[in-house]
Amino acid sequence: METLIERSGLFCYTKIHYFLFSKTGFTKRCMEKAAEMGNVSLVKYEDIIDAMTHHYR
């Protein structure tokens, strides 16, 4: 997450929302930081599969 935030500084946007994707999940610290920031969506592989399963029923 820190690298993503750092590199987002290369762009001149005023409204920023971050999306982080993980196959296995996120660390407790990452989840805490995302909640603290309020503009971060943490997406697990499991979430994507669940969304696809429910969408295509």
Residues in contact with 10: Cβ distance below 8 Å, sequence separation at least 6, in sequence order: none
DSSP structural state of residue 16: -
Give 50 or 57, the one with higher predicted confidence: 50
Q: What is the pLDDT of residues 5-37, one digit of tens each?
A: 999 999 999 899 999 999 999 999 999 999 999
The answer to whether the CB of 34 falls within 8 A of the CB of 42 is yes
The size of the chain, in residues, is 57
Rounded Cα gap, residues 1 and 8, in angstroms: 11
- Predicted confidence at residue 27, as pLDDT, reads 96
Can you read off the two tokens belonging to residue 54? 């429910």
